[in-house]
Structures are given as structure tokens and as C-alpha cells.
Amino acid sequence: MSRTVLITGASRGIGRSVAEHCLAEGHRLCLGLRDPEAVKGTLLDNAHVLPVAYDASQPEQAASLVDAASSWAGGVDALIHCAGILHRTPLLFEDGQEAELEELWQVNVMGPWWLTRAAWPHLRSCGNGRIQVMVSMSGKRVKGRMAGYPVSKFGLMALCQSMRNEGFDHGIRVTAICPSWVNTAMALSVSSVPAQSMTQPRDLACLMGRLLELPDAAVPVEIAVNCALEACARAVRG
């Protein structure tokens, strides 16, 4: 089944691999990119791909992106949120770092929220809409001293549940994608895990591509992918 898939964050990393995989599978793609020129001369420089300028921190651009996709392809029946940022803002942040917290919330939570809201009429009317959200394992547990990033990802996980509740009766299925370390520039900038030991973007892309093919009754609500073994936290009883 060929879909019209709207993907954000496809300039590089996971989003880029997802876009390339979806194109190879025969889907039409509308890509929300900070720089649409970034796909020129790449596999995504293709007649079945529409690159559109999009900044997840700018709410007004959500409707413009959906309108562009609709005018080009007649609608949108799948939405994949890959755009996101990382700041290592701790709990006891310094004066001035509150701007990082605001940016994390604006891009990681409100960006997907605004775009989902704009695309909702299309996802609902098609009868089998699909939404995939790149949440991260940081939306399931908190490790180390980073606070702002996991807080934004926990919020994003809650947003996934709200999307699921709202859309289930209309055939919309939502999957939260929760990887740990993935071999991207973002992960390599903060992790000492060797690149070859991390989950590879192309492997996540294969998983996410398969989700687009599954019937309503088989779409998982969450996929957790961890390249490392983590001990389960023990319950503390008083």
C-alpha cells in the first residue's frame, strides 16, 4: 500500500534514513526540512519527494507544511515526527539556561503537537492514518544528570497517548519509537558508546517502514530499542 508520508527531521540521522527507506518502498514523501536544499543531489532528490521549508519551533509553519503536502499529493495519510533537539540542561541549571528548557519544549513537544493538529483532518478522513513519533528511551526513564531533555521526552510520550486516545476510533494508529543510542551526530556528541555498537539508523528505518504496512489491529503502541542491557530498577518499599 502506497502512502503519502509527511516526515520531519529528514535532513540527516534517523529521519534521513526513514525517508530513504520509505521512498524505496514506493511511498510519496513530503519532507519538512530547515533547509530544503539539503536533499539536492541525494537519493531524496526525486520526483516523488516534496521538500518544504519547516522549522518545528515555529507553530505557524505546521499548517503551511500540511497545506503544501495536500496541494501536492491530495492529502496526508501518515505522519512521522523525527525532528528534535538535545540540550544537556541539568536539574540545577544556571541562570540563562532556562532558554534551553523553553527550546526543548517548543521543538520536542509543541512541534509534533502543532503539526499533528494541522494534519489531523487528513489522517482522520483517510480512515487508516498512521503517526510515528521518535520519542527516545529518555521518554521512559531518566539516567544521569540531564533533566530538560528527558522531561521533554516524557511529555512527548504523554502526547503520543493523547493522540492515540483521540484517533483510535477513526482508524488512526500511533506508535512511540523509543531507541537508546542511535548512530547519529547527536548521539555521538554526548555518548562514549562506539558508533558500531549503537543502533543503526537504517535498522530503525526498516522497523518504521514495516509499521506503515500493518493493519489497524497489529500496530504496536510503542517500540523500545536498546543497544545495551539496562538493569531494571527495583521497587523501594517503605
pLDDT band at 85 (very low <50, low <70, confident <90, very high): very high
Percent of the chain with pLDDT over 90: 94
Beta bridge partners of 130: 78, 173
Say what the pTM is. 0.95
Q: Is the pLDDT of residue 149 over 90?
A: yes
Distance CA 223, CA 6 (A): 20
Q: Is the pLDDT of residue 235 over 50?
A: no
Distance CA 29, CA 22 (A): 8
> What value does the mean pLDDT take over residues 103-131?
98
pLDDT band at 172 (very low <50, low <70, confident <90, very high): very high
Q: Is the pLDDT of residue 54 over 80?
A: yes
Three cell numbers, residue 228: 545495551
Percent of the chain with pLDDT over 70: 97
Residue with cell 529518555: 138
pLDDT band at 225 (very low <50, low <70, confident <90, very high): very high
Three cell numbers, residue 144: 544521569
Question: What Cα–Cα distance (Å) separates residue 102 from each residue in 58, 87, 117?
Answer: 13, 11, 20
CB contact at 8 A, 7 and 15: yes
Distance CA 31, CA 150 (A): 26
CB contact at 8 A, 89 and 150: no
HSE value, Cβ hemisphere, 13 Å, CA-based, for 53:
4
Question: What per-residue confidence (pLDDT) applies to 230?
Answer: 87
Specify the 3-state DSSP secondary structure of 28: strand
Burial of 185 (0-12, 13-18, 19+ CB in 10 A): exposed
For residue 14, give the amino acid letter.
Answer: I
The chain-wide mean pLDDT, for the chain, equals: 95
Question: What per-residue confidence (pLDDT) applies to 26?
Answer: 98
CB contact at 8 A, 150 and 101: no
- Within 8 A by CB and 6+ apart from 54, the residues are 8, 32, 33, 34, 61, 62, 64, 65, 83
Question: What per-residue confidence (pLDDT) applies to 209?
Answer: 98
Question: What per-residue confidence (pLDDT) applies to 231?
Answer: 74
Distance CA 93, CA 100 (A): 10
pLDDT band at 121 (very low <50, low <70, confident <90, very high): very high
> What value does the mean pLDDT take over residues 210-227?
97
4-225 — its CATH code? 3.40.50.720
Rg, C-alpha atoms of the chain: 17
Q: Is the pLDDT of residue 107 over 60?
A: yes
Residue extents of the structural domains in the chain: 4-225
pLDDT band at 236 (very low <50, low <70, confident <90, very high): very low
- Other Cβ atoms less than 10 A from the Cβ of 165: the count is 10
pLDDT band at 238 (very low <50, low <70, confident <90, very high): very low
> What value does the mean pLDDT take over residues 116-133?
98
- Helices 111-125 and 60-73 sit at what angle, rounded to 10 degrees? 30
pLDDT band at 109 (very low <50, low <70, confident <90, very high): very high
